[in-house]
Amino acid sequence: MPKLHQRAAHFVLKRLGFFNRSYRERAFGRNFVVPIINGRKTYISEHWMAEMIAHLFEVAPGAFIDVGVNLGQTLLKVAAADPSRRYIGFEPNPACADYAVELIRANKLTYTLIPAGLSSKAGVAQLQFYRQEDTDPSASLVAGFRDNQVASKAVVVLSLAELPEELVPDEVAIVKIDVEGGEADVLEGIKPLLRKQRPFVLVEILPAYTADNWTRIERQQQIERTLSEADYKMFRIRRDAGERFRAIEAITTIGIQDDLALSDYLMVPSERIGLLAVLGERFHGKD
């Protein structure tokens, strides 16, 4: 009976428009329309990333590829930095993809959202959820990436090779990857793009925490091999307590660490390291 009451209350509130409305919010120096759809909404976060995207756009022409759109948090950062940039987003979770499409529409952006994951090969995969919410930002395509899975859903994943030619830009400024453990698979799948278009890569790599977490360590090593083969250098991003960009530091290995605040990286083609001067004194080129 309580569940019946909850469903009835949800129906009434939805009919009254409580779950479906929009409001305006200023973020990263620009005003946006933020829709609320069935209680879902995006949120403003990671100011350091908005700063970094804006800086890199100064020296890197081309499109922005967003792998792991979730609720469009990065999409807003790109629009604030340069709304005319071509944007292509990949999101396997249908609930998130549907919301991101509405966010794009509400802000009259000419962005492309592909409702699929991006990986090393195409197919159907299981998206594992760890929270009782259909837009769970911790959901992962990597089996057993976390403990305490609560649900799963079959989703579509694509590889670069399966995409129509017109969807792969000739020039790519930045690829952002936030895929909860699947970074190695994405990087493997975009090897041709790394070799040809030479984009900057912004990627979150969650910590291994301990030396016996071999699954995560092996994935880190795979990431390092892929980047080395493509002649990329690795930098760890540091931010301050207010989530503002503080510095990047060159590293030779991802290593074993347990600080979530040190989980963000900038991967740079070796021949483009000189362009990081745009970051000024916050660029530390030595380990």
Query: What pLDDT does residue 241 have?
Result: 86
The stretches of the chain forming alpha helices (DSSP H) are 2-15, 47-59, 73-81, 94-106, 183-189, 191-196, 214-229
What is residue 282's predicted lDDT score, i.e. its pLDDT?
66
Domain of 192, in residue numbers: 2-284
> Which pLDDT does position 20 carry in this prediction?
82
According to the model, what pLDDT value does residue 1 have?
41
What is the pLDDT at residue 278?
A: 79
The ranges of the chain with pLDDT < 50 are: 1-2, 10, 287
Computed on alpha carbons and rounded to an integer, the radius of gyration of the chain in Å comes to: 19
pTM: 0.91
Distance CA 57, CA 59 (A): 5
* Residue 197, token pair as written in the block: 């278009």
Separation CA 186–CA 179 (nearest Å): 8
User: C-alpha distances in angstroms, 246 versus 76, 128, 236, 252, 283?
Assistant: 21, 33, 11, 20, 9
pLDDT value of position 15:
52
Question: What is the model's pLDDT at position 183?
Answer: 97
Q: Please count the structural domains in the chain.
A: 1
Structure confidence at residue 116 (pLDDT): 97
Give the CATH number for residue 205: 3.40.50.150
DSSP for 85-109, please give it.
S-EEEE---HHHHHHHHHHHHHTT-
Q: Residue 121 is inside which H or E element, if any?
A: none
pLDDT at 82: 97
